[in-house]
Structures are given as structure tokens and as C-alpha cells.
């Protein structure tokens, strides 16, 4: 894609979408009131607003390689600041951690040592924030390989991030009084479907089959 297409797209946005929705953008200029924090991967194949059919201002979004959530107290990570802001300043009600099929970060995690020389910064990021997932998969899924192993790694990684979210005092407190809900999603690129973790069944199922309110996210975390 040439940069000229991006520049032309900006012009089209302003001429068409922006002008058609001037009232919305005027309201947004006064502040934001999203109720959902959407944590997902940097992968270019994921568009949170397209996926959820939401408008600007409806999602507070954190993106990084592998949709990782450093545990509370980890220093020098912007994710914690984003989470704190979302809960404290915006009073977010729902937090979605959305991984996806064919995740390059999870492929790298399964061959972590191979990244050390070629992509040392990616290696350091995954080693620091995804090591619990790597060890869990290594110790418990020796019988699997290929795409099945990758899918299990993707799912386990999402659940690990849900657990990490629970280390944040503000989230732990709001889980206790049912003012925030955690959601674990896998976006399947090839089908366009979302699979969500169903705690009552201990597995990922199609999103429309998961009950709401969400069952206790602390229970039955791993499928």
C-alpha cells in the first residue's frame, strides 16, 4: 500500500465520514465516556471498531504485540497506566482481552529462543510478559503440535492476561462488587467469528453461547 493511499484516505475521511458525523465529533471534543476497555494485539488484521461495529468514543483501546497485560507493579510499561486511567478516570465497566488466530507473537513464544538474536526487543517483551503462558503450555500440552498447539497457546495466553488483570487493586475491588466484568475473546480471522471463554463450561465457545452476566472469571480459568 502506497503512502499516497493513506493520505487520500484522510481526505476522504474528512470529506465524507467526518462531515456526515459532525455532531458526533463535536460531542467527542468535549470528552469521552466509553464503557469498554478493549485490549488486543497490534496485528494489522484486527480492527476493534470494525469487529464490534462501534463508533469513535465507544472503545478505549490498548494494543501491543501479543495482547499482553503486565501484572500490577511491573515497571516501565504503559499498559498499566492505560488500565488505571480506564478504570479510574473513565469508570470502565467491561474489559475485553481479545487474541486472534494465527498470532505471530504466540508463534514466536513457542520458539522463543530463536527470537533472541533476530528480534531482541520482541524476545525481551515476550520473555518478560508471556513467560507464564510459555511455561504452562510447555508443561501441560506436550501431546499437541502445529495449529492445535498454537490455538491452545493463544487461548491460554488470553486467560493468563485475564489473571494478570486481577492483580490490579482497582479491578480486584470492582470484581468483588460486580461493577466491572472481564471477557476473554479469540477472534478467528478466517471465519470472522468470536469465541469467548465460558467459565461455566471451562472452554471457549461461540460468543452468542456465553451467558451474561459473566460467571465468576476467577473460577475454572483454564480450558
pLDDT tens per residue, range 148-199: 999 999 999 999 999 999 999 999 999 999 999 999 999 999 999 999 999 8
Residue 215 pLDDT grade (very low, low, confident, very high; cuts 50, 70, 90): low
Between helix 78-88 and helix 169-176 the angle, nearest 10°, is 40
Non-local CB neighbours of 141 within 8 Å, separated by 6+ positions: 149, 152, 153
- Give me the residue spans of the domains in the chain: 36-209
**Separation between Cα atoms, residue 145 and residue 151, nearest integer Å:** 10
Contact 130, 136 (CB under 8 A): no
Phi-psi region of 213 (alpha: psi -120 to 50; beta: other; left: phi over 0): beta
**Least confident segment among 112-116, 170-174, 216-220:** 216-220
**Separation between Cα atoms, residue 107 and residue 113, nearest integer Å:** 12
**Separation between Cα atoms, residue 64 and residue 46, nearest integer Å:** 12
Nearest 5 degrees, angle CA 96-CA 55-CA 83? 35
Read off the pTM.
0.93
DSSP summary character for residue 111: T
Bond before 213 cis per omega within 30 degrees: yes
Homologous superfamily assigned to 36-209? Carbonic anhydrase (3.40.1050.10)
**Least confident segment among 39-43, 105-109, 150-154, 172-176:** 172-176
Amino acid at each position: 500500500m502506497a503512502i499516497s493511499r493513506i493520505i487520500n484516505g484522510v481526505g476522504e475521511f474528512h470529506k465524507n465520514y467526518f462531515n456526515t458525523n459532525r455532531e458526533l465529533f463535536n460531542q467527542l471534543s468535549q470528552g469521552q465516556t466509553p464503557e469498554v476497555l478493549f485490549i488486543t494485539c497490534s496485528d494489522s488484521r484486527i480492527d476493534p471498531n470494525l469487529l464490534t461495529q462501534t463508533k469513535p468514543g465507544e472503545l478505549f483501546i490498548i494494543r501491543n504485540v501479543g495482547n499482553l497485560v503486565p501484572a500490577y507493579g511491573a515497571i516501565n510499561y504503559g499498559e498499566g497506566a492505560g488500565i488505571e486511567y480506564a478504570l479510574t478516570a473513565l469508570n470502565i465497566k467491561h474489559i475485553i482481552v481479545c487474541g486472534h488466530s494465527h498470532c505471530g507473537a504466540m508463534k514466536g513464544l513457542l520458539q522463543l529462543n530463536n527470537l533472541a538474536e533476530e528480534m531482541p526487543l520482541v524476545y525481551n517483551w515476550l520473555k518478560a510478559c508471556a513467560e507464564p503462558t510459555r511455561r504452562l503450555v510447555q508443561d501441560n500440552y506436550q501431546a499437541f503440535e502445529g495449529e492445535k498447539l498454537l490455538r491452545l497457546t493463544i487461548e491460554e495466553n488470553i486467560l493468563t492476561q485475564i489473571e494478570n488483570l486481577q492483580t490490579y487493586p482497582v479491578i480486584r475491588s470492582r470484581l468483588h462488587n460486580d461493577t466491572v466484568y472481564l471477557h476473554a475473546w479469540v477472534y478467528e480471522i478466517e471465519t470472522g467469528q468470536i469465541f469467548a471463554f465460558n467459565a461455566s463450561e471451562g472452554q471457549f465457545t461461540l460468543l452468542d453461547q456465553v451467558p451474561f452476566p459473566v460467571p465468576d472469571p476467577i473460577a475454572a480459568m483454564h480450558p
